[in-house]
Structure formats: C-alpha cells, structure tokens
Amino acid sequence: MTPILITSLLALNALLVACKVQYSTEVVTYVESLILHMAEQRSGAFNCWFLTFSSDPTQETALDAIATSQSLDMVPRKLLHTAGNLHVAIHPDPSLMVVYCESYKKFYYNLQYFLAVNEFLVSMKVIALHDTSVGDEMIYFVNAFYTTHYYNTVHISVNTLMVSYFLAYRQQYKTLQSVTVDGVFVDQTADLTGITLRISTLHYPSHTRDDLLRDSNTEWVVNTIKSVHGGYILATIDANRSSITTLQNTLYYFTEDIFYDFCLIRTVPLEGQFRPFYLQSSLPYTMAVAAPKGHRLTALEIFLLPFELEVWCTLIALLGMCCAVMMFCPIHFENDLILHPLCGFEKKCLDKVPRMEQFVLISLIMFFFLLTNAFEAKIIALMTSIPSTPDPRTLEDLIRQNITIQHAATADDFFWESESLEAQIFTYDPNDRQFQNRSEIRRNFNRKRGFSGVLGEIKYAINNPDEYDFESDQSRFVILDQFALGIRIAFHFSGYRNPLVPRLERTHRAFFEAGLLDFWDRRKIQYSFGVMHLNRVSASLQQKIANRRDLGMLELELAWYVLAIGSGLAGLVFALEHGMILVLTLKKTALHSKRRG
C-alpha cells in the first residue's frame, strides 16, 4: 500500500474516533435499502450471507439488526458467526456478503483466511461494516480485502453514514458522505488508466506482424482491454515442453510468484484447482469429427436419379405387362406396344388397326411422351452440373458410407465396448495428435477415412488450401454437425480473482451473438495461408469460367456409356446371329455330305 493511501486511511479513521454511538439506525436503514435494491436488480437467484467475527456472540451489532430486519424477509439469507478460521460449503453461491468484525486487527488473519480459502465467485459483492476507533485499525481493515483481491467491496461505517471504496487499478481510497443505492458499487474495470496486462498464449504473437492474423480469443481479450483504456503484452510460450505440467506452469506463471493476467489457451481445470483462477468460456470444448464430403454421382447414379424408386418400379411393371400382353394375346395387337410408343416403329398404320389397339397405343404414346420429356430435362440438368451425394452428418451416415475415423485415443479412453459401432468406426492412431500438420492427409486422401480433434483445430485443418476440391468448390472434408465425441466446459486461466472476469464474460457473449468470433477465426484462416489461399481463390474462379462453356466429354459421360452399351449389345447380337448361321450352315453341309455318301 502506498504512503498516500495509508495517510488517507488514518485521516478517515480520525473522523470516526470521536463517535461513541454503537451503530446508527440511519446506517441500518441504508444497508437494508441497498440489499433490497440489489435483490431487485439481479436476474436469477439472489442469496445474501451475513458473517460476524466476534469473541462474544451475545453482543448485539449493526449486522444483527440488518439480518433480522423484517424488510428483508423475502431475501434468502445465511447467518454465520465465528471467532476463528472458518471454511464453509458454498452452495448456492452468495451474490452479496455483509461482513462485520468487532476488531479487524484482532481478526485480521481469520478474515484473510476466510476470504482466501473459500472459493467465492469474482462477481460476488461485499459490504464491510466497521466501527473503528483505534489508530491502525483501518489499515488492517482495508488490507484484508486488498490482499485477497476482493476489489468489489464497499466499506460502510456503522457510526455515521459514510461509504468508502478502494480503486485497485488507480491505487486510490475514496470516501463519500452520501451516495444513492444504485451508485454504491463502482465498476473497477471501467477505466484501467493505461495499465499493461500480461497475456500468455501458445501461438505466434501476431501483434508484431499483422493484426489480421489474430484469432478470435486474442481479438476478444485485446478489444475488451482497449475499450477500458488498458494496455497488453502478448507473451509467446513454446509448446515443446517436457510435460503438460511444465507447459501449464509456463503459461500461468509470469515469474515464480506472479501470475499472468490471462491465458488465451482454453483448458479443462484439473480436479482440486481453485475456481477463482479461471474464467468459464461461453463456447464448449468440443471434440468434433471431420469426414470426407459426399462424392460426385456416377453415370449410373445420374441415370437413376431423375425418378424416385416408386416411378421406376411402376415403369418396369408397365413394360412387363406390355410384354406379357404381346406374348399371350398376339392376335389382338398388330403393333409392338413398347417400340411403337417409345421409338415410333409401327408395323401397321394406326388408323388401320382395331379400336382397342388405337386407344391402348394412344394412351401409351402420351404416357411415354410425358415421361421421356421429364427424364431428358432432368438428365441434361444433371449432366450440366453434376451433383454429389449428401454429406455425412451423423454416426449412422458414417456407418452407411463405411467411413472410419482416426483418433489419437483408444476405445478405452471413451469407455466404448470392443464390439460397439463406435469402436469399429474410430481407429486408434497415436500420431494423430497435432491437427495443424496434415501433409499425410494431402498425400493419401481417402474418401473412406476421416479425422477427429478439437473443433477449432479441425476448422483450421479442413480449410487448408491443399484440402480444397475444385470440382465442388468446397473443402474435401465436412464437420459432422449432428455428432460429436464429447463436449466439456472450457475455461481460461485468468489469474487470482481477476476483476476483469465479469467484463470479459459479457464481451465474449456479445461477440459470439454478433458473429464476430466466427468472423475473426475465418479471417485468420484466410490470411494465415496467405498466397496459398489466393491461389485457391484464383484457381476456383478459373474453374468456374471453364464450366460456363458447352458440355464436354466429361459432362456427356452418360451418353458415351449408353452408346458403348448399345454398340456392345448390337455387336454381341450380330456375333451370335452369324455364329448360329454358321453353325446351321455347317450342319447342313455335313448332312448333305452324309446323304451323298
């Protein structure tokens, strides 16, 4: 604490020495109004705790008068009294805590222990009541809250209405004789007055090169700090450490006894780590799956695609019926019921056949006319822009398309049974731990193999220009939006009881709802690949221009298949007919030779 602050505290204490009243009813009424105002303004549950440090529990204090007031009957309250160290179970979390000590000098270490050991939320507000009359009592009083980082605290004298608070970033202690209930708690982070905060990350500190290379986490924290007139220093930590513990300590500790103010890397805290050290992220820690996108349809699939299965079945049944009629009732139909409607081949003019055959042929001609026109239009459209099969979205899609997923964890890590579908789809690959380097994927791309990992890393990997498919003008991989390996709550290390945590939580939600987080990530992907991304865009535009020309050999693949099948069948029939004629000729020649002999 600075000498100026100590001097101001001693001067404030001198104003209170002359007051001999135990507590003022005006102060009690003011604190009651303040509690009711906070309960009305808070959204959700509001819980208020009353804590007294006193060696005589029978002595009535101002806190007892406030806690037993009838005006607070509708406010959930919890009363605590102790004369030593106190460790309580925090459930539910208190929104407000009212503290009173009969002697802050006497109970200094007990109060400090209570504030440090119990993991209260950073957003919790504290009203500290005091009636100091000893010269150095005020220093212990303020220092107990300052050293434990409970900055969201106001100090109210029980002798006379006097509200004080400590501005941590400005190192100032302010005292007000009168203040409205809605202006008691001052936002400590409204103005950082140019204070520089230390931020750690594993990525390259792009502020030394280009702001466009910063990811969404960096943009979120940096823009929040700038909005409150603060500065920052990005410290890059080498990821190649000997162990996870060593890397974590390097990310969290600026020096041996000083923490970083914030860590941009999301993590899942180990059990037993204190809650005041972390900020809960608005986005979950998702283990996602990336699978190959749907493939382009083959010629046979394009041929079958224009009609649904029911239409094809009905058409086949109709053709079979026509064949059966011509086979069993040949005398009633002189023309072919299939070749005449489809190809126009007629053995006899339509006006010279019986009435029954005329009606049947006319109906078949109209039916096949409508079907062939619809089929031709769909076929031409599909050949111009060949579609693809649907992208996989669920676990069932992976099973149906016979796609396997590589993962760095074994089935035991996910508690899968060896014969389950998940264990059959996900294959163990111990080298699949770094998703940033995917040269092996590019060399050995396989439409039956996918990958899994953290959602952010997968997005970065599948947007690599080397994974770009120019035929579909998209990435070769797609993230399954209806299946994930797991979702966990993610946290950011924020130092011990960082007062910026509530503001960072609000801005993170605001940036997410506005779509800025996704925008910053996409912008980083585009600029991080640099020339590779520009080449991809250029090649994509050239591919689109080339697709505007007339249909080529590739687009008319189905027509060549039909021509090849028809020519092959014709050649086969021709060979069979001439083979049969040759066999019959040889038989006749042999028979004549026997007769002559």
Range 35-54 average pLDDT: 90
The one-letter amino acid code at 518 reads D
State pLDDT tens for residues 575-586: 998 888 888 888
Q: Which residues contact 208 (CB under 8 A, 6 or more apart)?
A: none
Residue-wise pLDDT tens digits, 530-562: 666 666 666 666 655 555 545 566 656 767 777
Q: Which of 534, 554, 529 is nearest to 471 (CA)?
A: 554
Contact 529, 465 (CB under 8 A): yes
Q: For position 536, what pLDDT does the model report? A: 65
Domain membership flag for residue 56: yes
Picking from 142, 126, 127, 159, the residue whose alpha carbon sits closest to that of residue 31 is 127
Of 352, 384, 416, which marks where a domain is finished? 384
Confidence check: pLDDT of 442 > 50:
no
Q: Is residue 197 part of a domain?
A: no
Residue 555 confidence (pLDDT): 59
Residue 229 included in any domain? no
Buried b (16+ CB within 10 A) or exposed e, 279-292: bebbbebbbbbbbb
Asked if the peptide bond before residue 92 counts as cis, ω within 30 degrees of 0, the response is: yes
What does DSSP assign to residue 202?
S
Domain termination site, one of 176, 196, 217: 176
Q: Phi/psi of residue 127, each to 5°? A: -110, 115
Q: Which residue is associated with the tokens 């865009």?
A: 537
pLDDT of residue 422: 63
The DSSP code for 580 is: H
Tell me the pLDDT of the chain averaged across its residues. Answer: 78
**Residue 421 located in a structural domain:** no
CA atoms within 13 A on the CB side of 302: 25
User: For residues 97 and 95, what is the distance between their CA atoms, to the nearest angstrom?
Assistant: 7
Separation CA 107–CA 546 (nearest Å): 82
Q: What is the pLDDT of residue 105?
A: 83
- The CB density around residue 10, as the number of other CB atoms within 10 Å, is 13
Q: Rounded to an integer, what distance in angstroms lies between the CA atom of residue 296 and that of residue 298?
A: 6
Assess if residue 309 is contained within a domain.
yes
Give residue 324's domain range.
300-384
pLDDT in tens, 341-378: 877 777 778 777 788 888 888 888 888 888 888 888 88
pTM surpassing 0.85? Answer: no
Nearest-angstrom CA–CA distance, 493 and 202: 13
Q: With respect to residue 19, please indicate whether it lies within any of the assigned structural domains.
A: yes
Of 9-13, 281-285, 463-467, give the lowest mean pLDDT range: 9-13
Q: 134-138, 327-331, 466-470: lowest mean pLDDT where?
A: 134-138
Q: Contact, 152 vs 177, CB < 8 A?
A: no
Dist. CA 294–CA 291, nearest whole Å: 9
Whether residue 407 is predicted with pLDDT greater than 50 in this model: the reply is yes
Boundary of a domain, candidates 335, 350, 384:
384
Two tokens, residue 237 = 């930590």
**What CATH number does residue 118 fall under?**
3.40.50.2300
pLDDT at position 274, please? 59
pLDDT at 570 over 50: yes
pLDDT at 494 over 50: yes
pLDDT at 60 over 80: yes
The reply to whether 159 and 308 lie within a common domain is no
Structure tokens at 235: 């410290």
Band the pLDDT of 516: cuts 50, 70, 90.
very high
452: helix, strand or coil: strand
479 domain residue, yes or no: no
Q: Give the C-alpha separation, 313 to 311, whole Å.
A: 5
* Side-by-side strand order, sheet with 262-263: 231-236, 196-201, 262-263
Q: Is 262 helix (H, G, I), strand (E, B) or coil?
A: strand
**Per-residue pLDDT, 51:** 92
Q: Is residue 112 part of a domain?
A: yes
Q: Cα angle at 339 between 581 and 317, to 5 degrees?
A: 105
Rounded to the nearest 5 percent, the helix, strand and coil shares of the chain are 45, 15, 40
CB 483 within 8 A of CB 291: no
Q: Which residue has the tokens 């992976």?
A: 398
Domain count, the chain: 2
What's the one-letter identity of residue 246? T
Residue 382 · residue 306 · CB < 8 Å: yes
CA dist 36 and 245 (Å) reads: 46
CA–CA distance, 466 with 529 (Å, rounded to integer): 10
168 and 313: one domain?
no
The pLDDT-based confidence of 2 (bands split at 50, 70, 90) is low
